[in-house]
Chains A and B, each alone.
Chain A
Amino acid sequence: MNKRDLLVEIGCEEIPARFVGDAVRQLGQKLADWLNEQRISYETYHTYATPRRLAVHVHGVAERQADLYEEVKGPAERIAKTPDGSWSKAAEGFARKQGVAVDDLVFKEIKGENYVFAKVHHEGADTVRQLQEGLPEVLQALHFPKTMRWQGRTRFIRPVRWLVCLFDDAVVPVEWAGLTAGRKTRGHRFLGHEIEITHAAEYVNALKQQYVLVDATERRELILQQLRQLQEQRGWVIPVDPGLLEEVTYLVEYPTALYGTFNEEFLTLPKEVLITTMREHQRYFPVEDADGHLLPYFVTVRNGDDRYLQTVVKGNEKVLRARLADARFFYEEDLKQPIGQAVAKLEQIVYQENLGSVGDRIRRMANLASAIGERLNLEQKELQQLSRAAQIAKFDLATQMVGEFPELEGFMGRTYARKAGEEEAVAEAIFEHHLPRFASDKLPQTKIGGILALADKLDAICSSFGIGIQPTGSQDPYGLRRKAAGIVQILLSPAYRSLSLDELLELSLEQLEQAGLLKQDRAGVKKDLTEFFSLRIKTVLQEEGIRYDVIDAVIASGISHPAEVLEKAGVLMDQLSRESFKQEVEGFTRVANLAAKADGAELNKEALTEPAEQALLRAFEEAEALWERAAEQKDPAALYSALAHMVPEIHRFFDEIMVMVDDPAVRFNRLALLAGIMRLTRRFASFEYLVFA
């Protein structure tokens, strides 16, 4: 069968840069899935994307769907055949429906009963016909966080203005979004023209001649190459923020890097302020010297060629001048404002409608922080620093710079606090209490910063849960998952491992309850929080390569000390390779299964008279002692060994002892012994979750 090239291009008004990459990945994937589903074979596909187009080029596409042979099940033989052995009406009807002759029906046995089967042959349809019908659904299935209408009922990220669909050189006139696909596409908005693509394979080259580099990788490489060229020519270092590079790649169809300059006097501003102003407002790359000092230059990438470059440079310099003048104004104004005055303003800034002001929030944070500080045995001086840091941790929210650039929160706080003569430990904690801000971010390095980070995140999460706002599905507007992950990461580090997550949650809830901010039932909120944190810890364990069943087993024993949960999981992962481990787990599981029936019975040691009973009791008491010693030494492997110590006696017990005897006193006493053992094993894990192949 002949192979052809399929080209699909969605022509759009400018798609927001941050969505383009994902959108075109979806387009490729969904089209490939659809082809597979349709039994239309293909060799490979490539995706292309610019702000104005999402395209996919599929190579080696079959002209027709593959034929489909299937056996369709019909009635049972006793229904299909009349008593005289001829075909019944039911069989004839079935054959007719399947389009086969009754004599072509065959019998097959299923679970002891014979059924008729029709061997049906579906001839594959034309790919073109299938595309015509199926492609609109593929296009409509692209998912965006936010879509819009422009005319008619179609929703998409931005208005769709043209469609191209070619099968080799033939147009497939697919209809979607009020448009009919053709071969017309548009070149660069200013440098190019509308053109006709003669053949699907011509796509990339045809548009290149119209000043559109449709291949995002090619554009990215070209931008990097232009940046490198500038570095070499000028002796600069241009640090490339990958997020910015990605955004710029999807902001232009034909990139040309250019540089401009700004007045050196602005270099007195903090480097981060300059970089953020350039990046956030203007998508400029900053320029540094070899020692990492910022130079009074910027690099921007134009969507166009290198003609009239000086006009573009001049315009951009003018804009940046105004932006930097604004930034300097904010900075100077902020420095004039005493910290106390900024803190007072926090009373007027809403944290969350139902949770009061930021001022209310920092009082809660401060209480939590001091409670945590006491548990970690901070010295008097440290407690004082912690108290001061908590009190002013959020003051930069009331500065103009953070009003302008929310992402500089914490950083500006530290800068201004230092300038105002706060102690370094306090200034650093103001910055560090935001850490970690994202998955791979650094953790707070100072103790005060770490404690404040815990208090900040705890209050954010618990208060939100307390008024019934929890992340659901993809919705997590307050970043609570990230904050919870941050708490877990901090609790994993040695300095904080003595803290109990459970206790921290209770401390926070207690405070919210007293402030009347707990709108939901406290026990319910606590349960939701525990579940929420379990999921975060699960994620940590998964990232450590821990098996799912091991994760479930250790998490079931409580998550109060994430560091211990992680260690126990590690121990179990090691045990999995030991041959006798399976037998040990079976022992624990048998104990747990029966112990569930103990119904709170009390153990009467004197009444255990059988040798196997007494031996198990002894092993249990020894295990408890071993456990205590291992816990003191914080030795997770020894904790498990303490449990394993009981295994031989557990098996002997089950071999020799009948638990479920008629005499309730004896029965319940034996169950009580098992329940005691189960409680000990459960302190480590719920072993019954473990799965052995």
Chain B
Amino acid sequence: MNMQEMIKRLQDFWSEQGCILCQPYDVEKGAGTLNPMTFLRSLGPEPWKAAYVEPSRRPADGRYGENPNRLYQHHQFQVILKPAPADIQEIYLNSLRALGVDPLQHDIRFVEDNWENPTFGAAGLGWEVWLDGMEVTQFTYFQQVGSLDVDPVSVELTYGLERLASYIQDKENVFELEWVPGVLYGDVFGQPEYEHSKYTFEISDPDWLFRQFDDFEREAKRALSENLVFPAYDFALKCSHTFNLLDARGAISVTERTGYIGRVRNLARKIARAYIEEREKLGFPLMNRKGGEENE
């Protein structure tokens, strides 16, 4: 099964579970969790179900396209369900069946893994799901988002698409995965991997990035002062990515590091609070819709 087919099957599966199929978000981010369709929507009382592919940038993991397993940008298939259905583990296992993975023929385990993203004040408890010893999914019940306790609790499933594909296609090197017949992963992403790595580690201009960080932060605050939650959040994401670039470049000293992380966390907390307030002003429009109650 090639990458494209895998994505289609996951989209079909989760679409049948009542998820909105969102599209990847157009601001750089380190993980699908940070897409506002997860980060913001997991806040407040409104039900929410969404699924999407998220290209996730981790500048420090860039390896010039030379390492068979590490990437500047990898792909996550992200599912967020709020509230968490009682039979979510069973539903998840069915999604593996949809990918042709029969649990009876494999060894599938839920191994403790508590996830947290301190920069965004987010934390949850759950597992990494092992397929014959390989971690293929992060399975998390959110407890805190934007430093706020969440209620109701959302469940987040993050499939590592490259990992899963390398298992399903039995490939050792991510760049040899088949995206569609005749086109390999490396054909699509090889050049960007090299160039982004080179930019990150050798070319990027730390002075400019530091200025960018300050500007994005200021803009986030300005947007927030006008109660514009989504624009403010975009700029917080920009801050986070800028920080990641600086960090990968080795431009942030020991003493500064905590400070920068704190600044993003601060923004995230204020934005999280503002999001709930703004939704409340709108009367939490998604409450009590029929579709949202199906799994309760």
A631 to B89, CA, bound (A): 70
> Across the interface, which residues of A come within 8 angstroms of B109, CB to CB?
14, 251-252, 303
A314 to B131, CA, bound (A): 11
Say which one of A222-230, A320-328, A363-371, A680-688 lies at the interface with B: A320-328
9 sampled A-B residue pairs with Cβ under 8 A? A16-B112, A251-B109, A303-B108, A307-B104, A308-B106, A311-B106, A316-B133, A326-B69, A353-B258
Contacts of A357 in B (CB 8 A): 254
Asked whether any CB of chain B lies closer than 8 Å to the CB of A18, the reply is: yes
Chain A residues with Cβ below 8 Å from B153 are 148-151
Question: Smallest distance from the beta carbon of B249 to chain A beta carbons, Å?
Answer: 13
B134 touches A319 (CB 8 A): yes
Q: State the interface size on chain B (CB cutoff 8 A).
A: 39
- Chain B 108-130, CB-CB to A under 8 Å as 1, else 0, gives 11111010000000001101000
A314–B168 Cα gap in the complex (Å)?
12
CA distance A146 to B141 in the complex (A): 13
Known pairs A17-B112, A146-B125, A149-B153; A348 contacts B254 (CB<8 A)? yes
Q: 9 more A-B contacts (CB under 8 A) besides A14-B112, A314-B132?
A: A13-B110, A14-B111, A189-B93, A252-B109, A307-B104, A308-B105, A318-B167, A353-B258, A357-B254
* Cα A546 to Cα B132 with chains together (Å): 52
Contacts of B253 in A (CB 8 A): 348
B132 touches A315 (CB 8 A): yes
Cβ-defined contact, A148 with B143, below 8 A = yes
We find that the number of chain A residues with CB closer than 8 angstroms to chain B is 46
Contact B112 A18 (CB under 8 A): yes
The residue on B at minimum CB distance from A161 is B86
User: CB-CB < 8 A to B172: which residues of A?
Assistant: 318, 321-322
Q: Are B69 and A322 interface neighbours, CB within 8 A?
A: yes
Query: What is the distance, in angstroms, from B95's C-beta to the closest C-beta of chain A?
Result: 15
* Other-chain contact of A149, B69, B143, B170 (Cβ < 8 Å): B143
Let me know if B110 and A148 touch, CB within 8 A: no
Query: Given A190-B108, A308-B106, are A319 and B132 also a contact pair (CB < 8 Å)?
Result: yes
A590: CB under 8 A from chain B?
no
Q: Across the interface, which residues of B come within 8 angstroms of A18, CB to CB?
A: 112
Bound-state Cα–Cα, A395 to B67, Å? 25
Q: Does A347 contact B (CB under 8 A)?
A: yes
> Which chain B residues border A303 with CB–CB below 8 Å?
107-109
A150-B84, A158-B125, A315-B167 known; A14 and B110 CB under 8 Å? yes
Please give, as numbers and ranges, the residues of chain A lying within 8 Å of B222 by CB-CB distance. none
A625 adjacent to chain B (CB < 8 Å): no
Q: State whether the Cβ of B103 lies closer than 8 Å to any Cβ in chain A.
A: yes
Q: Is A598 an interface residue (CB 8 A)?
A: no
Which chain B residues lie closer than 8 Å to A322 at the CB level? Answer: 68-69, 172
Contact residues of B between 6 and 48, Cβ < 8 Å to A: none
A191 to B131, CA, bound (A): 16
The CA of A580 and the CA of B134, in the complex, are separated in Å by 72
Contact indicator A14/B143 (Cβ below 8 Å)? no
Does A60 lie at the interface of the complex (its beta carbon under 8 Å from any beta carbon of B)? no
Closest to A347 in B: B254
Q: Which of A18, A348, A349 has the most CB of B within 10 A?
A: A348
- Check B83 for interface membership: any CB of A closer than 8 A: yes
CB contacts (< 8 Å) of B67 on chain A: these are 329
A189 with B103, Cβ < 8 A, contacts A149-B143, A350-B254 known: yes
A595 nearest CB across to chain B (Å):
54
CB distance from B103 to the nearest CB of A (A): 4
**A273-323 interface (Cβ within 8 A of B):** 282, 300, 302-304, 307-308, 311-312, 314-316, 318-322
Report the minimal beta-carbon distance from B215 to chain A, rounded to whole angstroms: 26
Question: B105: nearest residue on chain A (CB-CB)?
Answer: A308
Q: How far is the CA of A14 from the CA of B143 in the complex (A)?
A: 17
Does A159 sit within 8 A of B, measured CB to CB?
A: yes
Quote the shortest CB–CB distance from B210 to chain A (angstroms).
17
Chain B residue nearest in CB terms to A350: B254
Q: Which residues of A contact B84 (CB under 8 A)?
A: 150-151, 159
B103 contacts across to A, CB distance below 8 A: 189-190
- Known A-B contacts A14-B110, A190-B108, A251-B111; A316 and B69 likewise in contact (beta carbons under 8 Å): no
